[in-house]
Amino acid sequence: MIEIINTLQDFKNKRERLSGSIGLVPTMGNLHEGHLSLLKESLKENDQTILTIFVNPKQFLQGEDLDKYPRTFEQDIEKIKSCMHEDDHVIVFHPTNDHEIYGTSFNTTIKVESMNNVLCAKFRPGHFDGVTTVVYRIFSLCRPTISYFGQKDYQQYQIIKKMRDDLLLETKLKMMPITRDENGLALSSRNRYLDHDQREEAQILPQTLKEIESILKRGKVEDALSKAIEIKSKYSAWQYLEILDSKNLEPLSDTTKEVVIAGAFIVGSTRLIDNRLVLLNHAE
Amino acid sequence: MIEIINTLQDFKNKRERLSGSIGLVPTMGNLHEGHLSLLKESLKENDQTILTIFVNPKQFLQGEDLDKYPRTFEQDIEKIKSCMHEDDHVIVFHPTNDHEIYGTSFNTTIKVESMNNVLCAKFRPGHFDGVTTVVYRIFSLCRPTISYFGQKDYQQYQIIKKMRDDLLLETKLKMMPITRDENGLALSSRNRYLDHDQREEAQILPQTLKEIESILKRGKVEDALSKAIEIKSKYSAWQYLEILDSKNLEPLSDTTKEVVIAGAFIVGSTRLIDNRLVLLNHAE
């Protein structure tokens, strides 16, 4: 069964009547296989799944692609249905305007201070505050047992986890692996902005991360760090290319067990991000 | 019965075992009759009361009186006991350090954006963000049925109410009237900084608010507004003296039903605040 709800009040009423475990998949719509992997996991693990579709203005900066961000509701519903089995129960919360998620006079910001001046945060100041604020609001409305996020937005996941811990929120969190196309490009709603040549160029991003991963896997941390600096400096399309401690997004230290190799890469006017997680082999 | 708890873990364990209605009285200690009026109301209305005593560093600005803020725990406990009847149950949560309320790596800020650039906020930038952040944390830990605050901190109350609404927090809120000494001075822990002459001078604050109130009560809104401007301009001790819509702390408009007359007044190095609420008599 799939139910579509468009208003805050209807959603609140619906939520009151739900019992059992609730999986939450918060999205901005334009669903692709990455989103669907979260949905499938939630369907497998929970009595019901709430999938939210809301293009959240608070997380777009002035000049970003809020207006042209793809809205494809009809196709999204078809894709959701294609993942469902007979007994599955999905509630799609698709607020028709900002008030149907925030209420009429919402004016509060939730800001995680840590991990909020590196990687994407450096280039999109305020972006993650918009994310944490809307995710807080969605968590409060949905009161999920467990919420699913994609690894592609790794920094987002870590910041949301910090918010969850600091604000004593009750949901469990689960991060699902990146879904890639046949060329290794991480799936993203923004990939549709790319033309044929740009899609080719975009492969530099996953290929580079993989190259650095293989240096790291050979235990050559210093080599990987200097390789990243070298690659980034050679090509202005790189907004960042960094190797950080995956736990706190700080530079590597003696206590680092796992690293994240994270890159942001501009193709035309499209900004792409990707990352890989690598366990350090301290034995070597 | 009174129970004193000093650590986060003990408090969490305690809270898990509580049932029935819970009244919350969050304080920074150094209790006076104002605090005790909140406590008494809570005892009357709830199965148990949690009173927190925590001098919250986040709400003090650089250069403010965090270090010298009076800590009088023993006397506080005696005063609490003096309000209690045989069947009352009070849990005093008195974290011995910041970690026992925030946990060890807390790094999130909750900022209510509205009402946060007028009155005290103008002169204490960031103060209310410290307040909302700690009050959020205390609400989350205590999960109260109802929380009690004093009218003396009227702006604080309104900002906390906005946070409660925006963040969909479950506690009810109740504001209790200002408690005053025999000369009309609003009780405050900071009054103890005043010497004899300063206490005399401090009376200008409540007397002025009362004077403006009486002009308003005669229906002379314009007169009250110009009187406030005149008084403030004559004496540099006034940090602010304003008449605002009590609902949103904005300038009066045609829809204003009730106003708050609010003043901040500096005596020596002590900053005092006070306010009065006045219903406008539109019939006149």
- ipTM metric: 0.91
Closest-CA residue to B50 (of B2, B92, B104, B99): B92
The model's confidence at residue B282, banded by pLDDT at 50, 70 and 90, is: low
pLDDT of residue A282: 59
What confidence tens digit (pLDDT) does each residue in B269-281 have? 999 999 999 999 7
Joined tokens for residue B124: 């204490």
- Judging contacts by C-beta atoms under 8 Å, the chain B residues touching residue A248 are none
For chains A and B, what is the number of CB pairs under 8 angstroms? Answer: 63
DSSP label at residue A61: P
Minimum Cα–Cα distance from A99: chain B residue: B166
Q: Which H or E run contains A146?
A: strand A146-150
pLDDT tens, B196-249?
999 999 999 999 999 999 999 998 999 999 999 999 999 999 999 999 999 999
- CA dist B140 and A167 (Å) reads 7
What's the CATH fold of domain A2-176? Answer: Rossmann fold (3.40.50)
Using alpha carbons only, how large is chain B's radius of gyration in Å?
A: 19
Reported confidence tier of residue B284, pLDDT bands at 50, 70, 90: very low
B168–A114: do the CB atoms touch at under 8 Å? no
Amino acid B65: pLDDT: 92
**Which chain A residues touch B140 with a CB distance below 8 Å?**
167-168
User: Which amino acid appears at position B204 of this protein?
Assistant: I
Q: What is the pLDDT of residue A258?
A: 97
Residues of B in contact with A8 (CB under 8 A): none
Tokens of residue B137, six digits? 């944390």
Q: Cβ separation of B107 and A110 shorter than 8 Å?
A: no
CA B271 to CA A249: how far, in whole Å?
42
Instruction: Return the structure tokens found at A107.
Output: 């004016």
pLDDT over threshold 60, residue A131: yes
Q: How confident is the model at residue A246 (pLDDT cuts 50, 70, 90)?
A: very high
Among A35, A85, A89, A196, the active-site one is A35
**pLDDT score of B178:** 98
What is the Cα gyration radius of chain A?
19
- Show which residues on chain A lie within 8 Å of chain B, measured between beta carbons: 102-103, 105-114, 132, 136-137, 140-141, 162-163, 165-168
- Give the start-to-end residue ranges of the domains of chain A: 2-176, 189-279
The alpha-carbon gap from B15 to the nearest alpha carbon of chain A, in Å, equals 14
Q: Which residues contact A44 (CB under 8 A, 6 or more apart)?
A: none
CA–CA min distance B258, chain A (Å): 20
Tokens of B32: 């006076």
Contact B124, B239 (CB under 8 A): no
**B41 φ, ψ to 5°?**
-60, -40
Q: What's the mean pLDDT in B20-42?
A: 98
Are the beta carbons of A242 and A264 closer than 8 angstroms?
no
Contact B194, B202 (CB under 8 A): yes
Strands B108-112 and A108-112, sheet pairing: antiparallel
Please list every residue in chain A whose beta carbon sits closer than 8 Å to the beta carbon of residue B163: 108
According to the CATH classification, is domain A189-279 in 3.30.1300.10? yes
Mean confidence (pLDDT) of chain A: 96
Contact A108 B140 (CB under 8 A): no
Average pLDDT over residues A225-253: 97
Among left, alpha and beta (phi > 0; psi -120 to 50; other), residue B57 is alpha
B35 is catalytic: yes
Q: Would you tell me how many other CB atoms lie within 10 Å of the CB of residue A134?
A: 22
Report d(CA A225, CA A259) in Å as an integer: 11
Chain B's closest residue to A103, CA to CA, is B166
Alpha carbons B224 and B217: distance in angstroms, whole number: 10
Give the chain A residue nearest B141 (alpha carbons): A168
- pLDDT surpasses 60 at B154: yes
Give A64-110 pLDDT, tens digit per residue: 999 999 999 999 999 999 999 999 999 999 999 999 999 999 999 99
Is A107 close to B162, i.e. CB distance below 8 A? yes
Candidates B105, B110, B141; nearest CB to A110: B110
For residue A284, what pLDDT is reported?
43
Q: Which fold has domain B194-279?
A: Pantoate--beta-alanine Ligase; Chain: A,domain 2 (3.30.1300)
What does B44-87 look like in DSSP terms, one character per residue? HH-SEEEEEE---GGGSPTTSSTTTS---HHHHHHHHHHH--TT
B260: β partners: B244, B277
**Are residues B175 and B157 in contact, defined by beta-carbon separation less than 8 angstroms?**
yes
How far is CA A32 from each of CA A51, A131, A186, A189, rounded to the nearest angstrom? 13, 20, 11, 7
Closest Cβ–Cβ partner in B102, B108, B162 for A162: B108
The rounded mean pLDDT for chain B is 96
For B108, nearest residue in chain A (alpha carbons): A112
Q: What is this structure's pTM?
A: 0.94
The beta-carbon neighbor of B109 closest among A106, A111, A140 is: A111
- What mean pLDDT is predicted for residues A154-173? 98
Q: Is the pLDDT of residue A274 over 80?
A: yes
Q: Cβ contact (<8 Å) for B140 and A168?
A: yes
Residues A210 and A263: beta-carbon distance below 8 Å: no
Task: Quote the minimal CA–CA distance from B260 to chain A in Å.
Answer: 21
Please name every residue paired with B124 in a beta bridge, in sequence order, or none if there are none.
none
Helices assigned H by DSSP within chain B? 8-17, 33-45, 73-83, 99-102, 120-123, 127-142, 154-166, 196-202, 204-217, 221-234
Q: Helix or strand or coil: residue B279?
A: strand
Give the separation between CA B151 and CA B29, rounded to whole angstroms: 17
**Mean pLDDT lowest among A61-65, A166-170, A274-278, B88-92:** A61-65
Contacts of B281 (CB under 8 A, 6+ apart): B217, B219
* Tokens encoding B57: 């560093």
Q: Which residue among B103, B140, B167 sits closest to A108, beta carbon to beta carbon?
A: B167
CA distance A122 to A262: 13
Tokens of A221: 């941390």
Closest Cβ opposite residue B141 in set A114, A140, A168: A168
Q: Is the pLDDT of residue B283 over 70?
A: no
